Each structure stands twice: as C-alpha cells, then as structure tokens.
C-alpha cells in the first residue's frame, strides 16, 4: 500500500433502467427520479498504480476501448480508443473519483472500457465507481460502500448504482440506493438476457431532460418532486426471475423526449421485436436501445442478426445479462485486455 509499484484493480458494471420515472426539476437543475436499475454484464476495469511522481495535482489516465461482439470476447479497438487521446485527464470521471479520494500525481490509472460513451448505460459512472474501489484499496483507505456512495453521487447521479449493482431502487436524483436483489458474478438461472444496440452518435443527458421539460410544457414543476414506484412492483423486481414478467414492468419516461431528438431509435426497438425480442426500451436517456429476450441463445442470435444487417446509425449490437455484481476489486484483469 502506498508503495511505489503497488497496484489495485477495480471493476464496475454498466446499467439498464428497468423503470425510470421523472419528477420536477429542482434548483440545481436535477430532476427527482424514481428508477429501478439493473446492473449488466458489460463492465469497466480500472487499474490504479502507485509510482514515483508528483505528490501534487491529479492522477493521470490512459483509456483503452474494446469493441464488444455477441458471443465472443471484447476486442481492443484502436479506432474507438483514438477519441480519448488528447483529452484533459481532469475531465475523466475515473480521475475525478481518484482525486476525490486523495490520489495525486503519483497515481496512474488505466481504464479498460467496454461500455459505450454517452450511451445511457452509465459508462462514465462505471469508470468512477471502478476507480473508487481500486484507489480505496491502493491507498489503504478502508472506506465503506456508504462513504464511497456519498463521494460517488457528487461525481454523477449514476455512480452509486454502479457501486451497488444488482437490481436497485434509485430515489432522490436516482442516486439514493436501496438494493432490491443481489447481482451475480456469472450468469445464473435468475438472470435476464438483453440485446443492446449501440448508436454511432451519443445523446446528451441534459438535452433529453430538457426536452422532457419542454414536452411537459411547464418545466415539470407541477409534477411531484418525488415520483414513486409502487410497493408491489418493487416486490416483484426483487423476486421475479423470468424475463416475460420483467417485460411487463418496463417503463422509461425519457423515451419520448429521446425519440423527439432521435426518431430513428423507436424503429430500432421495433426491429428488435420483429427479430424475436419479448419487448424493448431505451436505456436511461439513450441512445442505446435494449431488447429483452428469454435466454442467452436468443440474445446472441438476435444481436448477430442486427450486426449482419445493421440499421442506419448503429455501431453494433451485443448480448448482455443482468443483474450483475456492483463495483468490486479484481485479482486480475480479464485475459482479453491489452
Ligand atoms: O449527474 P450527471 O452528471 O450524470 O447528470 C448529467 C445531467 O443530467 C445533469 O446535469 C442534469 O442536467 C441531468 N439530470 C437530471 N436529473 C437527474 C440526473 C441527471 O436532470 N436526476
């Protein structure tokens, strides 16, 4: 710990919002949310290393991006990695998370990314969550999950969800977590399989919330500050194992505003149902569209069919499962990493 050459590896899941209800906007520009997150199997890995550098300033970061394809291991992509070169390290959520824990220029981070940027699956928040657990270990801070969540929510509303994992209820700004069902480390009989379709062009979360306010016509201020998800629905999220029951619960109030900005997204969802998905929805503020399926074979079959004939504007589909475990320390990186 705190020794030159020491190293820690953290990982954190991306997420799909099974339910997302938005309430009124507050003075800070955030909306009250009631949302059910499912942590899914696309994970970010952050390696934190301690070396002989400046005992001031911010940690440095290198980001490596991997392309994900159905049924095979992620593959490093020079093209996708390119977009991260030349960016200011201090804008990287993994760096801001490490710095919030007291890491300085002696800490070097390497982020192995599989989650799409600006895709509505909390990739940036997963970077922050994985960085928090890695740096907590590297610096020997022994901070508990509650403390990491408190730090995390100041970095981004989805960071606590990536820390906790499983299926959880998010209230407040979607950043106050109640765990409804534990996540698993590997796909089990109690998991849901999804086809995730990624878009070439991301969507800005503030913009989607802005259009929601416009569509409501009154800044949403007449809406309840704290929307709710009924107790019966929460109980079924904690218990129901099969995809068709989950399908009946899916709801996302950011879908309409996202479709107003990107009308092609609805057609992608309908295409997924034509290919055999039970149902579909937009992940968070989008633009990633996810289709729910009965099992892994279906997920791989449908994702491969999308890739064989990709709808315009998409940049690939893959199979993911949930609920997965929240952020955690790893002994080693997966063997597909560079
Ligand atoms: O917390 P985060 O940086 O991920 O949020 C990005 C933006 O999304 C916020 O600045 C805000 O415009 C919008 N947002 C919101 N209500 C929430 C969460 C996010 O309006 N509960």
Of these residues, 89, 127, 137, 158, which one is catalytic?
158
List residues bridging with 8 in a β-sheet: 48
Q: What's the rounded mean pLDDT across residues 230-236?
A: 93
Mutate to test the pocket of ligand 1, among 154, 205, 254, 283 (most ligand atoms within 8 A of CB): 205
- Alpha-carbon span 335 to 164, nearest angstrom: 25
Q: In this predicted structure, what is the pLDDT of residue 157?
A: 95
- Alpha-carbon span 98 to 218, nearest angstrom: 39
Which residue's alpha carbon is nearest to atom 13 within ligand 1?
Answer: 206
**Confidence class for position 271, pLDDT limits 50, 70, 90:** very high
Alpha helices, H only, 84-179? 93-100, 123-138, 145-155, 159-164
Cα–Cα nearest to 22, from 139, 128, 172: 172
The number of beta carbons lying within 10 Å of the beta carbon of residue 248 is 12
Q: What's the rounded mean pLDDT across residues 3-14?
A: 93
pTM of the predicted model over 0.85: yes
Are the C-beta atoms of 86 and 38 separated by less than 8 Å?
Answer: no
- Alpha-carbon span 183 to 36, nearest angstrom: 13
CA of 30 to the centre of ligand 1 (A): 5
Q: Any idea which of 78-87, 110-119, 210-219 has the lowest mean pLDDT?
A: 210-219
Active site residue 7: no
Query: Can you tell me which atom of ligand 1 is nearest the CA of 158?
Result: 4
Cα–Cα nearest to 261, from 310, 200, 204: 204
Mutate to test the pocket of ligand 1, among 23, 33, 157, 204 (most ligand atoms within 8 A of CB): 157
Q: In this predicted structure, what is the pLDDT of residue 219?
A: 62
Which residue's alpha carbon is nearest to atom 19 within ligand 1?
Answer: 30
Question: Is the pLDDT assigned to residue 1 strictly greater than 60?
Answer: no
Look at phi and psi of residue 16 and say left if phi exceeds 0, alpha if psi is from -120 to 50, else beta: beta
Question: Is the pLDDT assigned to residue 318 strictly greater than 90?
Answer: yes
CA of 160 to the centre of ligand 1 (A): 14
Active site residue 143: no
Is any atom of ligand 1 closer than 6 Å to the C-beta of 154?
Answer: no
- Alpha-carbon span 87 to 105, nearest angstrom: 17
Cα–Cα nearest to 238, from 174, 290, 166: 166
- Alpha-carbon span 246 to 241, nearest angstrom: 8
Question: Is the pLDDT assigned to residue 220 strictly greater than 80?
Answer: no
């Amino acid at each position: 710990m705190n020794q030159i050459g020491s190293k820690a590896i953290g990982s954190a899941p991306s997420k799909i919002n099974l339910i997302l209800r938005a309430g009124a906007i507050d003075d800070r520009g955030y909306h009250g949310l009631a949302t059910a997150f499912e942590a899914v199997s696309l994970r970010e890995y952050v390696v934190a290393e301690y070396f002989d550098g400046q005992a001031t300033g911010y940690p440095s970061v290198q980001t490596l991006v991997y392309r994900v394809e159905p049924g095979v291991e992620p593959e490093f992509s020079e093209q996708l990695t390119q977009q991260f070169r030349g960016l200011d390290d201090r804008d990287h959520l993994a760096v801001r998370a490490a710095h919030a824990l007291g890491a300085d220029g002696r800490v070097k981070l390497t982020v192995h990314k599989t989650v799409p940027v600006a895709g509505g699956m909390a990739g940036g928040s997963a970077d922050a969550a994985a960085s928090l657990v890695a740096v907590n270990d590297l610096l020997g801070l022994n901070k508990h999950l509650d403390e990491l969540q408190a730090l995390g929510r100041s970095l981004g509303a989805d960071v606590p969800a990536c820390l906790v994992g499983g299926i959880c209820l998010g209230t407040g700004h979607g950043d106050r977590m109640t765990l409804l069902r534990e996540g698993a480390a590997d796909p089990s009989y109690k998991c849901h399989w999804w086809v995730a379709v990624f878009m070439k062009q991301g969507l800005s979360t503030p913009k989607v919330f802005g259009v929601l306010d416009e569509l409501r016509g009154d800044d949403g201020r007449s809406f309840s500050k704290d929307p709710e998800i009924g107790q019966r629905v929460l109980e079924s999220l904690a218990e129901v194992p099969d995809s068709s029951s989950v399908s009946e619960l899916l709801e996302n109030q950011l879908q309409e505003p996202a479709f107003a900005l990107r009308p092609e997204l609805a057609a992608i969802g309908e295409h997924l149902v034509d290919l055999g998905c039970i149902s579909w929805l937009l992940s968070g503020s989008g633009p990633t569209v996810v289709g729910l399926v009965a099992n892994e074979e279906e997920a791989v079959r449908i994702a491969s069919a999308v890739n064989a004939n990709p709808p315009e504007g998409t940049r690939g589909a893959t199979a993911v499962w949930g609920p997965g475990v929240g952020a955690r320390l790893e002994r080693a990186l997966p063997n597909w990493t560079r």
